[in-house]
Protein backbone atom coordinates (compact mmCIF):
# COMPACT_ATOMS: atom_id res chain seq x y z
CA UNK A 1 0.00 0.00 0.00
CA UNK A 2 1.06 3.61 0.54
CA UNK A 3 3.89 2.73 2.92
CA UNK A 4 5.44 0.52 0.24
CA UNK A 5 5.04 3.23 -2.41
CA UNK A 6 6.77 5.79 -0.19
CA UNK A 7 9.64 3.56 0.92
CA UNK A 8 12.19 5.58 -1.11
CA UNK A 9 10.94 8.91 0.25
CA UNK A 10 11.71 10.69 3.48
CA UNK A 11 8.32 12.17 4.43
CA UNK A 12 8.59 15.28 6.60
CA UNK A 13 5.54 16.63 8.41
CA UNK A 14 6.12 20.29 9.33
CA UNK A 15 3.38 20.60 11.94
CA UNK A 16 3.35 20.91 15.70
CA UNK A 17 -0.31 19.91 15.79
CA UNK A 18 -0.80 16.70 17.81
CA UNK A 19 -3.90 15.95 15.72
CA UNK A 20 -2.05 16.17 12.40
CA UNK A 21 0.79 14.05 13.78
CA UNK A 22 -1.70 11.43 14.94
CA UNK A 23 -3.37 11.43 11.51
CA UNK A 24 -0.06 10.69 9.82
CA UNK A 25 0.47 7.76 12.20
CA UNK A 26 -3.03 6.56 11.25
CA UNK A 27 -1.97 6.51 7.57
CA UNK A 28 0.64 3.94 8.60
CA UNK A 29 3.53 5.66 6.83
CA UNK A 30 7.01 6.45 8.10
CA UNK A 31 7.58 10.16 8.64
CA UNK A 32 9.57 12.60 10.70
CA UNK A 33 8.43 15.86 12.31
CA UNK A 34 10.47 18.95 11.53
CA UNK A 35 9.40 22.38 12.72
CA UNK A 36 10.42 25.90 11.76
CA UNK A 37 8.84 29.04 13.21
CA UNK A 38 6.97 31.20 10.74
CA UNK A 39 4.80 34.28 11.02
CA UNK A 40 1.39 33.36 9.59
CA UNK A 41 0.63 36.61 7.79
CA UNK A 42 -1.14 36.81 4.43
CA UNK A 43 -2.12 39.65 2.05
CA UNK A 44 -5.46 41.25 2.95
CA UNK A 45 -6.92 40.78 -0.52
CA UNK A 46 -6.81 36.97 -0.26
CA UNK A 47 -10.12 35.18 0.30
CA UNK A 48 -11.30 31.71 1.26
CA UNK A 49 -8.96 28.91 0.10
CA UNK A 50 -6.52 31.52 -1.28
CA UNK A 51 -5.56 32.19 2.35
CA UNK A 52 -4.90 28.57 3.32
CA UNK A 53 -3.14 27.87 0.00
CA UNK A 54 -0.87 30.87 0.60
CA UNK A 55 -0.11 29.96 4.23
CA UNK A 56 0.53 26.26 3.57
CA UNK A 57 3.00 27.24 0.82
CA UNK A 58 4.53 29.94 3.05
CA UNK A 59 5.20 27.30 5.71
CA UNK A 60 7.22 25.30 3.17
CA UNK A 61 9.55 28.18 2.24
CA UNK A 62 12.01 27.93 5.16
CA UNK A 63 12.71 24.29 4.25
CA UNK A 64 13.25 24.63 0.51
CA UNK A 65 17.01 25.18 0.49
CA UNK A 66 17.68 22.20 2.72
CA UNK A 67 15.52 19.48 1.14
CA UNK A 68 17.28 16.41 -0.22
CA UNK A 69 16.22 14.76 -3.47
CA UNK A 70 14.23 12.06 -1.64
CA UNK A 71 12.52 14.43 0.83
CA UNK A 72 8.76 15.01 0.63
CA UNK A 73 7.67 17.91 2.83
CA UNK A 74 4.05 18.31 3.95
CA UNK A 75 2.78 21.64 5.30
CA UNK A 76 -0.80 22.70 5.94
CA UNK A 77 -3.10 25.41 7.24
CA UNK A 78 -6.73 25.54 8.36
CA UNK A 79 -9.11 28.47 8.71
CA UNK A 80 -12.76 28.96 9.53
CA UNK A 81 -14.46 31.18 6.94
CA UNK A 82 -17.61 32.96 8.05
CA UNK A 83 -19.46 36.10 7.01
CA UNK A 84 -16.88 36.85 4.31
CA UNK A 85 -13.93 36.76 6.69
CA UNK A 86 -11.35 34.35 8.09
CA UNK A 87 -11.35 33.25 11.72
CA UNK A 88 -7.95 32.04 12.83
CA UNK A 89 -6.80 31.03 16.32
CA UNK A 90 -8.19 33.28 19.09
CA UNK A 91 -5.73 35.46 21.02
CA UNK A 92 -7.59 35.13 24.33
CA UNK A 93 -10.79 33.96 25.99
CA UNK A 94 -12.82 37.02 25.02
CA UNK A 95 -11.91 36.70 21.35
CA UNK A 96 -12.73 32.98 21.51
CA UNK A 97 -16.12 33.76 23.07
CA UNK A 98 -16.91 36.31 20.36
CA UNK A 99 -15.95 33.84 17.63
CA UNK A 100 -18.23 31.12 18.99
CA UNK A 101 -21.03 33.63 19.55
CA UNK A 102 -20.81 34.54 15.85
CA UNK A 103 -20.76 30.88 14.76
CA UNK A 104 -23.77 30.05 16.96
CA UNK A 105 -26.97 29.17 15.05
CA UNK A 106 -25.19 29.49 11.68
CA UNK A 107 -23.21 27.59 9.05
CA UNK A 108 -19.51 28.23 8.41
CA UNK A 109 -16.82 26.82 6.13
CA UNK A 110 -13.74 25.03 7.39
CA UNK A 111 -10.97 25.13 4.80
CA UNK A 112 -7.68 23.24 4.95
CA UNK A 113 -4.90 23.45 2.38
CA UNK A 114 -2.08 20.92 2.25
CA UNK A 115 1.14 21.67 0.38
CA UNK A 116 3.46 18.88 -0.78
CA UNK A 117 7.00 20.01 -1.64
CA UNK A 118 9.98 18.17 -3.10
CA UNK A 119 13.12 19.51 -4.76
CA UNK A 120 11.37 19.30 -8.15
CA UNK A 121 7.65 19.72 -7.51
CA UNK A 122 5.17 21.63 -5.35
CA UNK A 123 1.51 20.67 -5.26
CA UNK A 124 -1.18 22.29 -3.10
CA UNK A 125 -4.64 20.81 -2.56
CA UNK A 126 -7.52 21.98 -0.37
CA UNK A 127 -10.78 20.76 1.09
CA UNK A 128 -13.90 22.56 2.32
CA UNK A 129 -16.39 21.33 4.90
CA UNK A 130 -19.60 23.13 5.87
CA UNK A 131 -20.42 22.96 9.59
CA UNK A 132 -23.67 24.11 11.20
CA UNK A 133 -23.95 24.94 14.91
CA UNK A 134 -27.09 25.02 17.01
CA UNK A 135 -27.91 28.17 18.96
CA UNK A 136 -25.31 28.21 21.75
CA UNK A 137 -26.06 29.89 25.07
CA UNK A 138 -23.43 32.10 26.70
CA UNK A 139 -23.17 29.54 29.53
CA UNK A 140 -22.47 26.75 27.04
CA UNK A 141 -19.76 28.79 25.32
CA UNK A 142 -18.03 29.70 28.60
CA UNK A 143 -18.29 26.12 29.86
CA UNK A 144 -16.58 24.92 26.68
CA UNK A 145 -13.85 27.58 26.78
CA UNK A 146 -13.11 27.10 30.48
CA UNK A 147 -13.10 23.31 30.27
CA UNK A 148 -11.35 22.67 26.95
CA UNK A 149 -9.33 25.89 26.34
CA UNK A 150 -9.40 25.59 22.52
CA UNK A 151 -7.11 28.55 21.90
CA UNK A 152 -4.83 26.67 19.51
CA UNK A 153 -7.70 25.97 17.10
CA UNK A 154 -9.05 27.99 14.18
CA UNK A 155 -12.49 29.33 14.99
CA UNK A 156 -11.93 28.60 18.72
CA UNK A 157 -13.28 25.05 18.64
CA UNK A 158 -12.38 21.44 18.01
CA UNK A 159 -15.14 19.34 16.48
CA UNK A 160 -13.81 16.30 18.34
CA UNK A 161 -14.42 18.09 21.68
CA UNK A 162 -17.60 18.39 23.76
CA UNK A 163 -18.86 21.27 21.61
CA UNK A 164 -18.77 19.13 18.47
CA UNK A 165 -20.83 16.45 20.16
CA UNK A 166 -23.54 18.76 21.52
CA UNK A 167 -23.61 21.71 19.11
CA UNK A 168 -22.92 20.52 15.54
CA UNK A 169 -26.27 19.86 13.89
CA UNK A 170 -25.03 19.30 10.32
CA UNK A 171 -21.80 18.66 8.48
CA UNK A 172 -21.18 18.52 4.73
CA UNK A 173 -17.78 17.24 3.69
CA UNK A 174 -14.83 15.66 5.47
CA UNK A 175 -15.05 15.43 9.26
CA UNK A 176 -11.27 15.04 9.50
CA UNK A 177 -10.83 18.24 7.51
CA UNK A 178 -12.54 20.08 10.38
CA UNK A 179 -10.05 18.45 12.76
CA UNK A 180 -7.25 19.94 10.66
CA UNK A 181 -6.34 17.53 7.88
CA UNK A 182 -8.45 16.16 4.98
CA UNK A 183 -6.99 12.66 5.26
CA UNK A 184 -8.66 11.31 2.11
CA UNK A 185 -7.00 14.07 0.08
CA UNK A 186 -3.60 13.60 1.72
CA UNK A 187 -3.74 9.85 0.99
CA UNK A 188 -4.80 10.45 -2.63
CA UNK A 189 -2.11 13.09 -3.27
CA UNK A 190 0.68 11.07 -1.65
CA UNK A 191 -0.27 8.13 -3.89
CA UNK A 192 -0.23 10.38 -6.98
CA UNK A 193 3.14 11.91 -6.08
CA UNK A 194 4.68 8.51 -5.35
CA UNK A 195 3.58 7.31 -8.80
CA UNK A 196 4.80 10.49 -10.50
CA UNK A 197 8.20 11.06 -8.87
Active-site residue set:
77
Identify the DSSP state of 64. G
Backbone angles phi, psi at 11, to 5 degrees: -85, 125
CB within 8 A of 77, min separation 6: which ones? 40, 51, 52, 55, 56, 59, 112, 113
Instruction: State the first-to-last Cα distance of the chain, in angstroms, to the nearest integer.
Output: 16
Amino acid sequence: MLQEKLKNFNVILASGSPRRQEFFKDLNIDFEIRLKPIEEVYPNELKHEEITNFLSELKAKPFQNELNSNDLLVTSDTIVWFDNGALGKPKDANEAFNMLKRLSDATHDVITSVCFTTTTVQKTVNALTKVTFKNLSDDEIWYYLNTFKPYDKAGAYGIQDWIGKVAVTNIEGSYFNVMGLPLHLVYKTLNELADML
